[in-house]
């Protein structure tokens, strides 16, 4: 119920960096890098199992929940069944893991980030549009936008923005259908749940590879728990999630990386990814980058955003309905 500040005001209260001093790592590769048929056994090492149990309405932190006095026995049985099917999927190569990522020179213009073919910034490839927090804060007086983490055009610095898309969904529906044909709904659901977990694991693995490409990740000595706790530099927000709630930005990402042609991952008209076991997003390498929720926004920001995106206000309102602080 907290009031919103005017959009013009929150733009003046943005997250500020001393851009002359910020470490901006230069990626070893500019443009796309494809990861085809990645070893599922490798990806399995990156699985965060806690959300797997949540999908079965078993709440708790893995592995502690295996010894929970209430749900421990059920969780153990579920985990053993999952491990058995996962071993089968890996041995028979039932799922295909395909991914693509790319880094591009970038600079920010207000709440937009423009990306280019090279560091000369002579040929613009695309503009990604971001939203800014407007909900009045009691303590912190910083109102974040993802664009704050990219060097502004007037800083004299060239920054880099990364993008990725991964899928382990090729083969998931086929395996689930085989179980369904045998009236084995339990393993049909299990196959889909494991496909989702492997896709998230792929995203974690690829982010580690991205950090290595940028140099600062080469010296990392992180455990799986470190990865789950995000104890590393940088973030990978996804279009449609709290820091970037507009799903339509996904269309730009998919076009930029040629995702359908490269890894066989498509978007529906509602910007859902198909096959469903998939993750896509962006890499921000700023040393102070953190996740946040844009939250509610007002008519003033919606009007500005619509103009920047070249969309009608009504179209923007349709896509951002959960974030609107008013009834359109």
Task: Take residue 326 and report the two structure tokens written for it.
Answer: 């008013």
- The beta strands (E) that lie in the chain are given as 31-36, 96-109, 112-116, 124-129, 159-170, 266-267, 273-274, 278-283
Task: Take residue 84 and report the two structure tokens written for it.
Answer: 């058995």
0.85 exceeded by the pTM?
yes
328 residues of the chain, pLDDT tens digit each? 679 999 999 999 999 999 999 999 999 999 999 999 999 999 999 999 999 998 888 888 888 889 888 888 899 999 999 999 999 999 999 999 999 999 999 999 999 999 999 999 999 999 999 999 999 998 889 999 999 999 999 999 999 999 999 999 999 999 999 999 999 999 999 999 999 999 999 999 999 999 999 999 998 999 888 898 889 999 999 999 999 999 999 999 999 999 999 999 999 999 999 999 999 999 999 999 999 999 999 999 999 999 999 999 999 999 999 999 999 9
Return the number of other C-beta atoms located less than 10 Å from residue 29's C-beta: 11
Cβ-contact 108, 152 below 8 angstroms: yes
Cβ contacts of 172 within 8 Å, gap of 6 or more? 95, 191, 192, 195, 275, 276, 277
SS3 call for 254: helix
Rounded Cα distance, 43 and 51, in Å: 16
Return the number of other C-beta atoms located less than 10 Å from residue 199's C-beta: 25
Rounded Cα distance, 255 and 126, in Å: 10
Whether omega before 204 lies within 30 degrees of 0, making that bond cis, reads no
Distance set, CA 214 to CA 118, 233, 253, 266, 282 (Å): 16, 11, 20, 28, 14
Q: Of 84, 82, 96, 125, which is closest to residue 38 (Cα–Cα)?
A: 96
- Burial of 253-285, coded b for 16+ CB within 10 Å and e otherwise, reads bbebbebeebbebebeeebebebebbbbbbbbb
Rounded Cα distance, 305 and 235, in Å: 23
């Amino acid at each position: 119920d907290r009031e919103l500040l005017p959009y013009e005001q929150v733009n003046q209260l943005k997250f500020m960096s001393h851009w002359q001093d910020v470490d901006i790592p230069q990626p070893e590769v500019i443009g796309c890098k494809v990861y085809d048929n990645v070893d599922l056994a490798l990806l399995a090492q990156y699985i965060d199992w806690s959300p797997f149990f949540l999908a079965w309405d078993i709440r708790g932190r893995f592995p502690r929940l295996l010894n929970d006095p209430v749900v421990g026995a059920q969780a153990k049985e579920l985990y053993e069944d999952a491990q058995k099917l996962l071993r089968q999927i890996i041995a028979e190569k039932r799922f295909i893991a395909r991914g693509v990522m790319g880094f591009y020179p970038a600079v920010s213009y207000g709440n937009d980030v423009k990306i280019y073919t090279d560091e000369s910034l002579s040929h613009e490839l695309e503009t990604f549009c971001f939203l800014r927090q407007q909900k009045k804060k009691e303590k912190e007086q910083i109102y974040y936008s993802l664009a704050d983490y990219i060097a502004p055009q007037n800083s004299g610095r060239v920054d880099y923005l990364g993008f990725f898309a991964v899928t382990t969904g090729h083969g998931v529906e086929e395996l689930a259908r085989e179980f369904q044909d045998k009236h084995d709904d339990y393993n049909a659901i299990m196959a889909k749940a494991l496909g989702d977990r492997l896709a998230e694991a792929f995203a974690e693995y690829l982010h580690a590879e991205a950090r290595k490409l940028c140099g600062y990740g080469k010296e990392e000595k992180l455990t799986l728990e470190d990865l789950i706790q995000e104890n590393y530099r940088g973030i990978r927000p996804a279009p449609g999630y709290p820091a970037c709630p507009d799903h339509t930005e996904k269309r730009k990402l998919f076009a930029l990386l040629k995702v359908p042609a490269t890894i066989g991952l498509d978007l529906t008209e509602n910007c859902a990814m198909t096959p469903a076991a998939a993750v896509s997003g962006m890499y921000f390498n700023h040393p102070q980058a953190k996740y946040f929720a844009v939250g509610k926004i007002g008519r003033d920001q919606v009007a500005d955003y619509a103009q920047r995106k070249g969309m009608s206000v009504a179209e923007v309102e349709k896509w951002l309905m959960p974030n609107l602080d008013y009834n359109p």
